[in-house]
Amino acid sequence: MNVAQRLIFLREKRGITTNKLANLAGISQSHLREIELGQRNPTVETLSFFCDALGVTLEEFFHENDDINPFLESAVKRLSDDQQAALADFINKIT
């Protein structure tokens, strides 16, 4: 997996600028740009900061199936069991 490309993909999918992601992750914009350009590799800690800012887990970051929206998947996982059941019922009714 190309970490830089995945980071760019998720950042753009979320509609976040490089500057905003750097601020949310607590790193410099130049450091993020170097990572996105493939000039540097992020540490696990830095990657964790990016994931927190993007609203995904490290597992979701490395999950390359782009057919599944990682943000939606992450949001559904945070729902209670009752909320997930209600959502499933709703989806079944409209499809």
Q: What are the tens digits of pLDDT across the range 11-28?
A: 998 899 999 999 999 999
Residues 54 and 21: beta-carbon distance below 8 Å: yes
pLDDT of 68 above 60: no
Question: What number of residues does the chain have?
Answer: 95
Which residues have a Cβ under 8 Å from the Cβ of 43 and sit 6 or more positions away? none
Instruction: Tell me how crowded residue 54 is: count the other CB atoms within 10 A of its CB.
Output: 22
Hey, what domains does the chain have and what are their CATH numbers? 3-94 (1.10.260.40)
Give the residue with greater pLDDT, 20 vs 86. 20
CA 43/CA 22 separation, integer angstroms = 14
**pLDDT at site 70:** 62
**pLDDT at site 38:** 92
Q: Global pTM?
A: 0.66
Work out the mean pLDDT of the chain and round it to a whole number.
Answer: 87
Q: What are the tens digits of pLDDT across the range 26-58?
A: 999 999 999 999 999 999 999 999 999 998 888
Q: Which amino acid is at 51?
A: C
